[in-house]
Amino acid sequence: MKNSSAVNNRRAYLLALAAVLCWSTVASAFKLSLQFVSPLQLVTIAALVSTLLLGLVVTWQKEWRTLGASWRKHCRLYMALGFCNPFLYYLVLFHAYDMLPAQQALSLNYTWGVLLALLSVPLLKQRVRRRDLFAALVCYGGVLVIASGGSLHGFQLDNLPGVGLALLSTLIWCCYWLLSTRIGGSPAVNLLLTFLCGLPWLALVILLRGDWQWPPLAGWMGAVYVGLFEMGIAFLLWQAALMACGNTARISNLIYLSPPLSLVLVALLVGEKIHPATVVGLVLILLGVGIQRGALRGLLGRMSWGGAMAPPDSTHK
């Protein structure tokens, strides 16, 4: 039994590390892809690719009956979830990446963990603690450092809209996660139904704008990569890791490897010079998240701490 447990834990670590490596590449993938496609094109193609992948997974798991039953039970909720993600969340997030350096956008994205805890007070009737408020103070202190470039005189009006969009994306993601907690069952089924409900919103915007242009090959490659690894494969790897490991706390801390790895890849692949203020701000954000996880270990222990999109239901993930 001990040998079997050790093998499972080793397998869980390898799967979790693979998921972290996938998430570490997506900030660079976002920024590079947006050189060739618009945010709307990127989210649309990526969502289509992810939907196809999830459809294959549901087919392989033989869960189409489960999908039908879940849709009949929660159809209105899935429609609301689909509006939040992939439609609104990724559209806002990709516009933020389009306006900001990748290092800033990816760092600001990690504030969602603390924001979720704050929103849980009015929405889930949880009690606010002093530690919650201290975590928020530390976390958003990091946001201030990043947005100002390390100096209060460093605020630039052309950067503030991008910062605002990056922070807005965390609010959308938190709303999505809180809504998703009302649904149990298979994570792959839930995510597939959510994406199926999000695609019509993307199609509607494309029809209303009427300016869709066929992306170049580089744009297609980037969007397909995002759909596979950000929205699909990383999610499946993380879910498999949690299922293989008896104690999710053992692998949850591995996600803290993602931000520094992401910064390294942004520097190497995108060519951005990492600003010291970004490093300081990211450390403060992760410190705030760490403080918050200690305060709400039961809630956040069930969540995934992935890249831009950590699917909800972390035991789900």
**Quick check: 290 and 52 in contact, CB under 8 A?**
no
Preceding amide of 187 cis, omega within 30: no
What pLDDT score does 308 carry? 46
Preceding amide of 86 cis, omega within 30: yes
Q: Average pLDDT for residues 75-82, to the nearest whole number? A: 94
Provide the pLDDT confidence category of residue 290 given band limits of 50, 70 and 90. confident
Residue 317: pLDDT over 60: no
Residue 248: pLDDT over 60: yes
Provide the pLDDT confidence category of residue 246 given band limits of 50, 70 and 90. low
Q: Average pLDDT for residues 269-287, to the nearest whole number? A: 90
To the nearest 10°, report the CA torsion of 108, 114, 117, 121: -90
**Quick check: 49 and 223 in contact, CB under 8 A?**
yes
What pLDDT score does 293 carry? 72
Of 56-65, 75-84, 135-144, 188-197, which gets the smallest average pLDDT? 135-144
The residue whose two tokens read 């597939």 is 192
Q: What is the pLDDT of residues 118-159, one digit of tens each?
A: 887 777 677 777 777 888 888 888 888 887 776 666 556 557
What pLDDT score does 144 carry? 82
Q: What is the pLDDT of residues 162-180, one digit of tens each?
A: 999 999 999 999 888 888 8
**Quick check: 238 and 19 in contact, CB under 8 A?**
yes
Residues 66 and 132: their CA atoms lie apart, in Å, by: 38
What pLDDT score does 6 carry? 63
Provide the pLDDT confidence category of residue 236 given band limits of 50, 70 and 90. confident
What pLDDT score does 142 carry? 86
Residue 307: strand, helix, or coil? coil
Q: In the structure encoding, which two tokens stand for residue 61, read together?
A: 């798991």
